[in-house]
Amino acid sequence: MVFDILAKTGHEQVVYCHNRDAGLKAIIAIHNTVLGPALGGLRMWPYKTEQDALNDVLRLSRGMTYKAAVSGLNLGGGKGVIIGDPTKDKSEALFRAFGRFVNSLNGRYITAEDVGIDVNDMEWVLKETEFVTGVHQVHGGSGDPSPFTAYGTMQGLMAALSFKFGDEDIGKYSYAVQGIGHVGMEFVKLLREQGAKVFVTDINKDSVQRAVDEFGCEAVGLDDIYDVDADVYSPSALGGTVNHNTIPRFKFKVICGAANNQLATEDCGDEVERRGILYAPDYAVNAGGLMNVSLEIDGYNIERARRMMRTIYHNLGKIFTISQRDGIPTYRAADRMAEERIDTIGKIRLPQMGNTGTRFLGRMRGLG
């Protein structure tokens, strides 16, 4: 069954990671390494079934391939998931055990933070492998990637507003932000700094209250967010919230947020297009975090990171142009842009996995 799934998704490798003593149950999926080693975050989530975890890691790792490709990075796509509750199941042993599995892949997969994971967790992973990004600055890392993901999302938002409305005046429009975790809260902060009207919702009531108290947002119910009369819907939590149940309720004119896999199915992307809603493809919009941690491989520089993230604006412009030119939905235009780069660069590149891994290891060892 798994091989049938991999044949359809195009994945190169799936690794099941189990350590009974540490309580580790994890999956690492490597989707594509044509452009370079697979870089992608580690997510910790209380999946109801192992199949749910597999489905998530396969979907997320494929998205990382496309995200890296459309962003112009020499990286492939991978992802890791740990089955567990991040509020009560974390331990040093758990993350060090995961780090040993990452290390066994010898650079084919480089890990980083994602949902349920923070810099402190990455410190434990780093004790067992050097193939880690998003670690603390004292280790030569860039720290928490959330602010950079949010900053990059703002670049994508400006491109979407420009295409849809003809201006980039963020404060002129209203936003429904679904999910205010690390990235979502940073995004809300940036929106409010521009004077925008922001509606928020989240399963974490404390986060919602913080957004209300500190940033002046308006709270709405978890399900009510889809009915808000706002210009932009910004999904910034888990994926699949743009689906056949929610789309008929949308009054939004633009969908642009930081979440991965926002479209539940491709049909949903087609339906959004039919309704005249501009969808800014998620993996092109939220690439700021990946761009940021990717710079750790050759030596991190924050100014270079911000300059790189500003290319998100231009990447979205290219996607919208392809969509208009070819008469296809924006999600297909983004896929086309990514696939063309993988195909073109893949034909001229010699295998460089070993070189990239060696360069990464040498840089990290040099930090002591």
The encoded tokens of residue 250 equal: 């949308």
**Could you confirm whether 79 is annotated as catalytic?**
yes
The encoded tokens of residue 72 equal: 């112009």
User: Which has the closest alpha carbon to 323: 338, 336, 341, 340?
Assistant: 336
d(CA 247, CA 221): 17
d(CA 345, CA 142): 28
Q: Angle between the 266-274 and 330-348 helix axes, to the nearest 10 degrees?
A: 130
Give the DSSP H or E segment for 307.
helix 302-309
Torsion of CA 347, 352, 357, 358, to 10 degrees: -160
Q: Do 140 and 300 touch, CB atoms closer than 8 A?
A: yes
Report phi then psi at 132, rounded to 5: -135, 135
Catalytic residue among 25, 67, 79, 90: 79
- 160 DSSP 8-state letter: H
DSSP string, 255-302: E--S-SS-BSSHHHHHHHHHTTPEE--HHHHTTHHHHHHHGGGT---H
Active site residues: 79
